[in-house]
Chain A
Amino acid sequence: MIDVQTHIRVKNLSVWYGKQQALNQINIRIPDKRITAIIGPSGCGKSTLLKSFNRLIELQEGVKITGHVLVDGEDINDPKVEVTHLRKKMGLLSQKPQVLPMSIYENVAYGLKIHGVNGKKNLDPTVEHYLQEANLWEEVKDRLHTPASKLSTGQQQRLCLARGLAVEPEVILGDEPTSALDPLSAECIEHRFLKLKEKYTIVLVTHILRQAKRLADYVVFLYLGNLIEHGPAEEFFKNPKDPKTRAYISGGFIEETTRKASG
């Protein structure tokens, strides 16, 4: 086990969408100042888990949550918790990059203004800084005040990264943050994450096993809403304990293993 220091701790977390259960009794500790990768096949509950960390999940119709998510020792579902503070602290980059209906500049400035940064003098350098962090500055510096929706999908994804970083979260929750990027930009963002983990705790959902191997210090493997296996990356990839994990990381079909295991 790496470090004991942990920002986020999940205890017996279950989530239902209506009658359908999306997460079943999840227990994990997310190590601080590390990159934790959440992997698993499509529909296994990765986004659901991530959105449980900043309570975005409760916006869904008919969602039911049991169990606890503790951030800094505090249950985030406690009525005392100010949800806007929680969400500022837990920056989420959602799976589908969603720009806001405003200019490129305003997109980055939006979160800043909400949290009290005002005035061109304060905003301008900050906006530039985070656009550079997201590796987008060079492409957009001459058209900062044009609509963000005109950017390409990959550029939008990087804009969302810049916007997310600009509010200075303590934890970055990335839901496949490089899914819309070309290999070069993806690599660039990956490097960025490796740097960012010095300052931030990072949780990344990824479909790309190689990406998980390249980046992750810690790996969480979900399957059909269940936590199958989790552990330090090296061990996880070298010595997977569960047959399902073994099948998944060797590219085999889990279905087959499960069928064999059960019958």
Chain B
Amino acid sequence: MAWRKIEENIFKFLMVLATAVVVGSLALILITVLFKGLPALNLDMLTKTPQGGYYIGKGGGILNAILGSLVLGLGATFLAFLISMPLVIYLHLYLNTRSNRARLIRFILDLLWGIPSIVYGAVGFTLMVFLGLQSSLLAGIITVAMLIMPIMTRSMDEVFKLIPFELKETSFALGATRLETAVKVILRQALPGIVTAVLMAFGRGIGDAASVLFTAGFTDSLPYSLFKPVATLPLAIFFQLGTPFPEVRERGYAAAFVLTLIVLIISVVTRIFSARFSKNIIR
């Protein structure tokens, strides 16, 4: 009897510990980037591009990288969505869940998910050279889209798996086609999950440095053409943290703070929206 109580308490302790680690990690990240970056965080940082000598501590900001990352992240997310969404609908409405084809698709997606982003960067670079492109926003968008597509698809896939089978059945019973069922019923039911999947993929895409290193390049100017290099926050952080100048390293932390904040804001905003969309959902 006493032992079972001890057992229970040990497990309770472990669970509390695990929760604390999760909450602690978030707090640690926020505090680190905030405290180390705060001194460098000012309006110039957010509203100006790097001026001459920025990387040795002179004036300017990282607007190039902020806008670059946003544009690249949105572009890649959009492109990945164009592939993910039809694929998930195909998996769930046109294939049997346990068919060989569905299995194969899921297996490949899981493999793709596991491949490190630097490999995507390398492949993207090869592809780019092959197509005769230079490092550019477009090449970055394509590469990051490849990187996040499996993540987006598999997360949506898991959401779709939770949709009651009867919902499909009901819609078919009324004489709806697969597409009507997908668009008018299943997507509605899955909407909050789709939003979450897209968001996850965006967060992963906007924060990745390795895939954009060779493909998107870097520039001090604002993004203005699909075919010109573009700056991104992860690389801005990377370059600035790598310098010997303390004030520049501080700016690196400030950039990290901005990147974290973007992901946080988007995540909160989307959650609010998806709550509004989900009022009709069947639980």
| A interface residues with partner B (beta carbon < 8 Å) | 54, 56, 59, 61, 84-85, 87-88, 91-92, 94, 96, 98-103, 110-111, 114-115, 147-149, 160, 163-164, 167
Chain B residues within 8 Å of A, Cβ to Cβ:
96-98, 164-177, 180, 184-185, 188-189, 279-283
Docked-complex contact B174 and A167, CB < 8 angstroms: yes
B35 CB to closest chain A CB, in angstroms? 45
- A100→B171 contact, CB < 8 A: yes
CB–CB B173/A100 < 8 A: no
Bound Cα distance from A167 to B171, whole angstroms: 12
- The answer to whether B174 touches A101 (Cβ under 8 A) is no
Contact between chains at B170 and A100 (CB < 8 Å): yes
> CB-CB < 8 A to B176: which residues of A?
84, 110-111, 114
Chain A residues, CB < 8 A from B188 = 100-102
Q: Chain A's nearest CB lies how many Å from the CB of B96?
A: 6
A136 to B166, CA, bound (A): 22
- Residue in chain B with minimal CB distance to A112: B174
Contact of A61 among B96, B166, B169, B185 (CB under 8 A): B96
Residues in B with CB closer than 8 Å to A101 are: 167, 185, 188-189, 280-282
A149 B282 Cβ-Cβ under 8 A: yes
Q: Is the CB of A94 within 8 A of B170?
A: yes
The smallest beta-carbon distance between B99 and chain A, in angstroms, is: 9
- Taken together as a complex, chains A and B put the C-alpha atoms of A134 and B174 apart, in Å, by 17
Residues of A contacting B168 with CB < 8 Å? Answer: 59
Q: What residues of chain B lie closer than 8 Å to A56, measured between beta carbons?
A: 169, 172-173
Contact residue among A87, A98, A110 (Cβ-Cβ distance under 8 Å from B184): A110
In the complex, the chain A residue whose C-beta lies closest to that of B164 is A98
**A88:B175 contact, CB within 8 angstroms:** yes
Closest 5 CB pairs of A and B: A88-B175, A111-B174, A98-B166, A87-B175, A101-B189
CB of A115, distance to nearest CB on chain B (Å)? 6
Q: In the complex, A94 Cα to B167 Cα: how many Å?
A: 11
Query: CA–CA, A56 to B282, complex, Å?
Result: 22
Query: Does the CB pair B185–A94 fall under 8 Å?
Result: no
Kindly state the separation between the CA atoms of A84 and B282 in the bound complex, as whole angstroms.
Answer: 25
Q: Which residues of B contact A85 (CB under 8 A)?
A: 175
Known: A56-B169, A59-B168, A147-B280. A100 touches B175 (CB 8 A): no
> A98 CA to B167 CA in the complex, in Å?
7
